[in-house]
Structure 1
């Protein structure tokens, strides 16, 4: 546990939260500043900075928990869909405890997760594909 981490304090029961789901590896609770009703944060029980690059068992199960909670939110709220995202690194967010946002989506919500896009350059794509294949 990291005593300065808000999520670790929630997991320890030292800070209140509306916990929707909890098991020995993960926790899911309502975001205190939700984009929409049902906006949920899913995190590993163990403090870590990233999900995708971690070897901790809780990281592997975060997306399983997100699916479990999404099923319950679907039955409860009947959203039109979900946005699910994880960000990591110093450029994003203020919480250094790894987590996934599970955001129920509704046709009339004001949520915007748009990305600025460009056309895929075939030469850059081929080079990147080759580099990744060498690692995998």
Structure 2
């Protein structure tokens, strides 16, 4: 945890907005101008570690960020993407990207993901058990 950029290297003047549990900054490698990053104030690696209170704070903050982007910029929408677990960049913890979007911005054109075979029926069954 002590090597976490989110825990150790975010300066107070970089914080745009904060709640009891989260802080919002501009993404340092933005996909689009206005790309925000929401990160927890404590070192949480996965959404499954969050209490209901923290989760509610996160979704309300996401709503607030989407509203502010929509009020300020002439966007057509916003994409929200969350990173969890060991797949994240080293030196980070659980975080949410809030990305301004425009029609025909080719956002999905740059996705070059190597597909992995999964048991889709098993996933469907597990989801239906919720």
TM-score exceeds 0.5: yes
> Please, what is the CA RMSD of the aligned residues?
2.8
Query: In 1, distance between residues paired with 2:104 and 2:42?
Result: 36
Q: Which has the larger radius of gyration?
A: 1
CA contact (8 A) 2:15 2:25 kept: yes
Kindly indicate whether the alpha-carbon contact (under 8 Å) linking 1:10 and 1:17 is maintained by their aligned counterparts in 2.
no
- 1:131–1:35 distance in 2 versus 1, CA, 3 Å: closer
Q: TM-score, normalised by structure 1?
A: 0.73
For residue 36 of structure 1, the aligned residue among 26, 32, 35 is: 32
More helix by share: 2
TM-superposed CA distance for 1:65, in Å, is 0.6
Counterpart contact for 1:43–1:62, Cα < 8 Å? no
Distance in 1 (CA, whole Å) between partners of 2:44 and 2:99 is 22
Distance (Å, rounded) in 2 between the aligned partners of 1:9 and 1:124: 40
* Aligned counterpart, 1:6: 5
CA distance in 1, matches of 2:105, 2:126: 40
Q: Mind listing any 5+ residue stretches in structure 1 that lack a counterpart?
A: none
State the 1:92 CA deviation.
4.0
Aligned pairs, number: 124
Determine which of 88, 95, 99 is the counterpart of 1:99. 95
Distance 2:43 2:101 in 1: 28
**TM-score, normalisation: structure 2:** 0.75
| Structure 2: 5+ residue stretches without partners | none
CA deviation after TM superposition for structure 1 residue 39, in Å:
0.3
Query: In 2 relative to 1, CA 115–124 (structure 1 residues): closer, same or farther, beyond 3 Å?
Result: same
Cα deviation, 1:21-68, whole Å, max 9, x if unaligned, reads 1121111111011111110011221111012x1134434422221110
